[in-house]
Structure 1
Amino acid sequence: MNYFRLSSQALPDSACAINQQSASYGIKMDILPLCQSFVEVMQADSAGIYTGERDSLFHPHGHGTWMGNDGSHYEGQWKHGQRDGFGFGIESGKQLCVGEWKNDRYRGERLVYTSDRIYGIDISKYQHIIGKKKYPILWNKLRISHLGNISRKTVSGSISYPISFIYIKCTEGATLLNPYYRKDYRAAKAHGFRVGSYHFFSPRKPGLAQARKFMKHALVRRGDFPPVLDLEPTPRQIKQMGGPDAMFAQVRAWLRYVERQTGTRPILYISQMFVNRYLKYAPDLKQNYRVWIARYGEYKPDIRLVLWQLCPDGRISGIRGHVDINVFNGYRDAYQKFLQNEVVK
């Protein structure tokens, strides 16, 4: 690529964007001046046009905009020729990505945790049984006190967050029932929490049989969060089932039966690894079902989702041991719309 310097001095604060300017080199391009910085423009080649700052080696560096001839676009921070820092971009035919970039790759939105976020937890019998001892949940004391140590997190202010929703494990496979499910469900509701029920999928049992087991025991009531299918098979288990297509056939059987019985479309709980490796084999599920992702990292998952499990080792006042902590994908307005439109009717 050939580079041309169009400005050799800093622009005034009042400088505005210049559209469709023709350089003396005969190249028509968009120029977006940056206040108090040098503006550099890359000559168009077969790939596209770069507009913005550069380093001493003429590489994009600082703030700049890339317009690809294939329809791709990026505006944000660059570092020695690579997208690096905050920016937004879209690849040809793909969704918009807004957030942090590193070494020319999109990392995701870096979430800042504050008391303004909507948090929840998910629990099972393991919040009652630790080793050989059994513990009650002190429902009137529940509050998030620690976001865990398994990954980096950006926190603003002290951590003492209220809990807005609680998912409780109901069943697993076609035979197992959480012995604390009904007691926890009723206690959570009595203390004013929004409640949802989830089923842990077994790769060894038919999806329909598992769905019937879930519906036999689940307390799905008006105002509850949608039922959840917890889908965590290993690659070996998926292979033993006959591959991704065979697995998703059983998953669809569970989802469709539960939706017919409850009148509410379930949510899929899956890991980021599962999304990357297997969800492409079920585009109908990716498009039509809300997703709850387990991803223990600094950046929010780059996928349409409703809930994000941000850590498995959180601490909750009123519960012994570690607890999974989740965050709703949105703020109060989005959460209120979710409560109006997506919960059990």
Structure 2
Amino acid sequence: MRMAQLPPIVKHNTTMKITKYTLALGFALLCLCGCKDIAHDGQTIQVQGATTYYGGTKQGKYDGYGVLSVGDSVVYAGEWRMGKRWGKGIGSDSTGRRIVGTWRADTLVSGTWRDSTGTYTGTLNRDGIADGHGTFVNRQELYQGEWSDGKRSGFGVAINAGKHLQLGEWKNNRFLGERIEYRADRIYGIDISRFQHEKGRKRYTINWKQMRIVNLGKLSRKRIAGTVDYPVSFCYIKSTEGTTVRNRYYRTDYAAARAHGIKCGAYHFFSTRTPGTKQAHHFLKYSKFRKGDLPPVLDVEPTCAQIRAMGGAEAMFRNVREWINVVKRATGARPILYISQSFVNRYLPLAPDLKRDYIVWIARYGEYKPDVRLAYWQLSPDGHVRGITPEVDINVFNGYRDEYEDFLQNECIK
């Protein structure tokens, strides 16, 4: 809160008109704070032009507790030290917003302000702007964390009226996400298709006995603790696509994964050219669903042109709902939607029921965890797994061991 240089003390013998508010506030501060115990020359009223000071002085300077007014407006009321605001006080910024705060050497350092947007409490810069660490709250949300020049920047946590939690890094009021540190105690998995068996004319077998994740890929920056040498805890295998395509390796990979104690599930690649109901029956006919298997997944990644060609987002989501409903009734498990970050941003808000009722598996190749109702995060498409020759999609479960066990208990095939 910038303020012009304080005027020098000028003593007047003439009677001055002081507003009732100024006198009342001054007397209240003097009585409440016990100014009788603070050394100063006395309690005086001093005026220069439109500026009035009422309070303690010492060696000709404002000292102790006092009220500084310009006209009928109180500029500052609180503690002073040798002519400078120093300690607890009440002031205002350039917009007229009242601040209850702490000053050091005439500079505001922390406090509380309230305006039409909400209430902030925390560290402030000299202009009364949130800077450092603080809490902001209104009827819609609460944020606690780091600020820079009035904007959320750094680590912080926000929760809104719908109890949606955002915990992680912020920049210029935009939530970037949680920056994960990859460690051995997280739950990792892979997803595979024919591309882990074929590359051009070459053909490969998977050595399930040797399988370990040994590299998380190089497409994005990652914070990794220790050496990457993680067990594969879960595996999704592509089963079908549209109403005609089948993965010739699905049944063999499914049997091998189960034989080696790896939790597995099937996914279907959504087509914009055929009805959702027919795609669901195709998936159910050629996929396996045994007790304890992971919930089925619908892989939805059409281009904008494909969505327009099928009649737009409304038509697409109608077919997605058809697939989900048929598969859910047949398996008893709630399907998961596999989607990209761009799909989340552009299309998912158009289907609030899906966003509300279904968890997602998202492909996002950045260093920050996605801000969605997340089951799995596909963090890279170029990882390396011992036992598999081509590159592999690497995924991490959204949680630790206890959350993973709860997920298996509540979401898997019964």
Query: What is the TM-score of this pair, normalised by structure 2?
Result: 0.74
Q: Which residue is 1:17 aligned to?
A: none
Asked if 1:292 is matched to 2:361, the reply is yes
Match status 1:222 vs 2:291: yes
Aligned to 2:113: 43
Aligned mate of 1:235, from 269, 279, 304: 304
| One-letter amino acid of the structure 2 residue matched with residue 159 of structure 1 | V
Query: What's 1:13 paired with?
Result: none
Among 163, 166, 174, the alignment partner of 1:105 is 174
Paired with 1:5 and 1:129, the residues of 2 have a C-alpha distance of: 77
Matches within 5 A, 1:241-260: 241-260=310-329
Distance 1:5 1:291 in 2: 54
Aligned-pair CA distance for 1:238: 0.6
Gap change, CA 1:41 and 1:139, over 3 Å in 2: same
Letter in 2 for 1:65: T
Letter of the 1:193 partner, please give it: I
1:76/1:88 contact within 8 Å kept? yes
What CA deviation, in whole Å up to 9, does each residue of 1:98-122 have, x standing for no partner?
A: 1110122111111111011000000
Q: Paired residue for 1:340?
A: 409
Q: Select 2:372's aligned residue among 296, 300, 303.
A: 303
Q: Taking every aligned residue pair, what percent have the same amino acid on both sides? A: 55
Q: State the shift of 1:51 in Å.
A: 1.9
Distance 1:220 1:31, change over 3 A: farther
- Superposition pairs for residues 114-133 of structure 1, below 5 Å? 114-133=183-202
Q: Which residue matches 2:266? A: 197
CA deviations 1:265-322 (Å, max 9, x no partner) are 1111111111111111211111111211111111111111111111111111110121
Counterpart of 1:66 in structure 2: which amino acid? F
Return the structure number with greater strand share: 2
Residue 292 of structure 2 aligns to which amino acid in structure 1? G
Within 2, Cα distance between the matches of 1:23 and 1:54?
14
| 1:184-231, Cα deviation, whole Å (9 max, x unpaired) | 111111111101000001101111111111111101111100111000
The corresponding residue for 1:54 is: 124
TM-superposed CA distance for 1:75, in Å, is 1.2
SS in 1 for 2:175: strand
Distance (whole Å) between structure 2 residues aligned to residue 271 and residue 299 of structure 1: 14
Larger radius of gyration: 2
C-alpha separation in 2, matches of 1:294 and 1:191: 26
CA distance in 2, matches of 1:40, 1:60: 9
Q: Is the Cα–Cα contact under 8 Å of residues 123 and 323 in structure 1 kept in the other structure?
A: yes
Counterpart position of 1:67: 137
State the partner residue of 2:164: 95
Q: Find the aligned partners of 1:8 and 1:195 in 2 and give their Cα distance.
A: 70
SS in structure 2 of the partner of residue 306 of structure 1? strand
| Structure-2 separation of matches of 1:220 and 1:40 | 59
**RMSD, matched Cα:** 2.6
Aligned-pair CA distance for 1:73: 2.4
TM-score by length of 1: 0.88
Conserved in 2, the CA contact under 8 Å of 1:5 and 1:40?
no
- 3-state DSSP class of the match of 1:44? strand
Aligned to 1:320: 389
Aligned equivalents of 1:30, 1:284: Cα separation in 2: 44
Instruction: Give the whole-Å Cα distance in 2 for the aligned partners of 1:5 and 1:105.
Output: 37
Residue pair 2:194, 2:249 contacting (<8 A) in 1 also = yes
Distance 1:57 1:214, change over 3 A: same
Matched residue type, 1:41: G
Quick check: 1:162 aligned with 2:231? Answer: yes
Q: How far off is 1:64 after superposition?
A: 1.4
Where does the alignment leave 5 or more consecutive residues of structure 2 unmatched?
4-75, 82-87, 103-107
Kept in 2, the 8 Å contact 1:5–1:39? The answer is no
The residue type equivalent to 1:278 in the other structure is Y
Q: Secondary structure at the match of 1:344?
A: coil
Residue 6 of structure 1 and its aligned partner are, at CA, apart by 8.1
Instruction: List alignment gaps of at least 5 residues for structure 1.
Output: 10-21, 33-37
